[in-house]
A and B are shown apart, each in its own frame.
Chain A
Amino acid sequence: MATQHHIKRGVSLYSLQEEYFLRKLDLEGCIATCARLGALGIESIGEQMMPGFPKLPDAFYARWHQWMAHYGTVPTCHDMFLDTKRYKDRLLTDDEMIESIKADLRHAARLGCKVMRVLVSVKPEMVERCIPYAEECNVKMGLEIHSPFHFDHPWIMRYTEMIERTRTRHVGYIPDMGIYVKRFPRVMRDHALRHGATEKIIDFVCQAYEERVLPDYVIFDVGLMGGSEADRRFAESLRHIIWSNPRRMLEFMPHIYHVHAKFYDMVDETREYSIPYEEIIPVLIEGGYDGYLSSEYEGNRWIQDAYPVDSIEQVRRQHVMFEHLLATR
C-alpha cells in the first residue's frame, strides 16, 4: 500500500489514436471513454484530433469546455509540435519558431491546460524566449524526456542549465516512462518476427538488452552472425529503447509538471510487459509528485498488422494497475 500522495490519473488521447484514426471514436467519444475509466485528466494533441488546428473557432473551445463540464474531466496538457521543416528549402527562422510556440501556448491556455508538452527536439533557446509569454498565458512548458534521451543526457542538461540560470517557474519536464523500459517489449519482438527477422537473432538481441549491452556492440555482433536486413533493423532499434534509473526523477521532482505513462502491452490488469510501474510509482510518491499519470498507449503500431487493436481495453487495464499502485492505507 502506498503512503499518502496527490497523484492523479489521466489519459493522453494519443492512446486512442487507432480508434480515432478509423473514426470509431470522435473527440467527444475519446473524452467520454476516459471519463468512464475514471481517468479524468485529459491530455490532447491539437494536430491529431482537432481538425483545423491551430486556427480553431471560438465555438470549438466553447464545446470543449462543455464536454469537460459534462464528463467531469479536466484539461491537463496540450502536446505541441514544431514543424521546423515546413519549407522544403530552409528551416524555420527563430522568429517563426517563436510564433509557432506562442500559438501553441495560446491554444493550451484556451483549452484550460496548465501544462504544455514541449517536443524534445525543440532548441532550449526558443523555449527560453517564450517564458514571458508562458507566464502571461499561465501555462508551464514541460520538456518531454523521451527515449532515447534521459535526465542526464547532454541535450536535456542544456534545459536543466537554462532552468537553473533563469530560475523560471515555467519550464520543467515531462518524463515519458518509455525511458524506463527494463525488458525488451514483446510486441516489438513479435512484430520483427512477423516481418522477416530471425528468431535466433531476435533472442540474442533481447537477451543483450536485458544484460544492458551497449547497442553498438549488439548491432556489430548481429552483423557478424550474418543477420538479414530485418535483423539489422531490429538490432538498431536498441538505439531508441532505454532503461534508466527512475530514482533520478527525485532530483528533478520540483520541475516535473506531468508524466507520460507510456506503455506498449498490458499483459493483464497488474503488469506492463516491459515497463516496471511497480518500481516507478513509488518513486513519484516518495518525491511528492502531485500531477497526473497520463496514459500513453503506443502498442497499436506494433500489433495492428496482425491483430485488432483495442486501445480502450489496454488503457483500462493500465488504470486498474494504477489504482492498485496508488491505493493508500
Chain B
Amino acid sequence: MFDKYMIVEDGFRNVSENGRAIGFQLNTRLPYYRGLGVSMVEDVSVTVDGQTFPREATTIVLRGRPMSLEAMETDYRERWEFGEVGTVLVRKEGGLAPGVHQVDLTDRLRISYLPFPLLGHDSKQLVLK
C-alpha cells in the first residue's frame, strides 16, 4: 500500500562536502497507513541503475536529523510519521552522473500484527541535474 508514493519525484540530487560530491539523496515516504517508531523500520534499500548500495552507506534524515539504519534499530523515541517525507542519503564517492536514472527503493517494516515483514517497493525514473 502506498508503494507508488514511496519515491518522491522532487529532491533527487548529489550531495557535496567541501565542493566534492560524496553521494546522492532522494526524498521518500513509508508505504504504510500509520506512522512508525523508527526501530521498526528494518531496512531502506536503494538501487540505482541496477546497483544496490550497502546498508552501511545509507542514512535517513527526518526533520533534519540524520540517522544510520543501524542507529534507527535501537532508537525508541523517533517516529517516522504517516505520509512524512524523509530523505535517504547514500554515500557514493563522486555522486551520480547527471541525467536519467532508474531508481528502485525497497522498505522492510516490522509490523507487530503481521507474521511477516511488510515489504514496500517503488521504482521510478528520476532526473539528476
Contact = CB atoms under 8 A, between A and B. Distances in A.
User: Is B a genuine binding partner of A?
Assistant: yes
Interface of A: 14, 17, 20-23, 45, 47-49, 51-53, 81-88, 119-121, 300-301, 304-305
Interface in B70-97: 73-74, 76, 79, 81-84
Interface of B: 1-5, 29, 33-37, 39-40, 42, 73-74, 76, 79, 81-84, 110-113
Contacts of B83: 20-23
A84 B82 contact: no
B113 A301 contact: no
Contacts of A45: 34
B84 to A, nearest CB: 7
Interface core residue of A51, A83, A88 (most chain B CB under 10 Å): A83
B38 to A, nearest CB: 11
A81 B110 contact: no
B2 A85 contact: no
A81 B82 contact: no
Nearest to A92: B112
Contacts of A82: 112-113
A22 B33 contact: no
B118 to A, nearest CB: 11
B34 A301 contact: no
A87 B34 CA distance: 18
B39 A87 contact: yes
Contact of B35 (A47, A120, A121, A301): A47
A88 B37 CA distance: 12
A14 B112 contact: no
A88 B82 contact: no
Contact of A301 (B2, B29, B42, B79): B2
Contact of A48 (B3, B35, B76): B35
B117 to A, nearest CB: 10
Contacts of A84: 112
Contact of B82 (A48, A120, A301): A48
Contacts of A86: 37, 39-40, 76, 112
Interface core residue of B29, B34, B74 (most chain A CB under 10 Å): B34
A88 B35 contact: no
B1 A301 contact: yes
Contacts of A48: 33-35, 82
Contact of A88 (B36, B73, B84, B111): B73
22 contacts: A20-B82, A20-B83, A21-B5, A21-B82, A21-B83, A23-B83, A47-B34, A47-B36, A48-B34, A49-B82, A51-B81, A51-B82, A52-B79, A53-B35, A81-B113, A83-B112, A86-B76, A87-B39, A88-B42, A88-B74, A88-B110, A301-B2
Contacts of B42: 88
Nearest to B113: A121
A149 to B, nearest CB: 12
A84 B113 CA distance: 8
Contacts of B33: 14, 17, 21, 48
B112 A121 contact: yes
A199 B5 CA distance: 28
Nearest to A53: B35
Nearest to A91: B112
A83 B34 contact: no
Nearest to A51: B81
Given A48-B34, A48-B82, 9 more contacts: A17-B33, A21-B29, A22-B83, A45-B34, A49-B82, A51-B82, A84-B112, A85-B112, A87-B76
Contacts of B34: 45, 47-48, 81
A81 B40 CA distance: 14
Nearest 5 Cβ contacts at the A-B interface: A21-B83, A301-B1, A47-B34, A121-B113, A85-B112
B40 to A, nearest CB: 7
Nearest to A304: B4
A52 B78 CA distance: 9
A86 B75 CA distance: 10
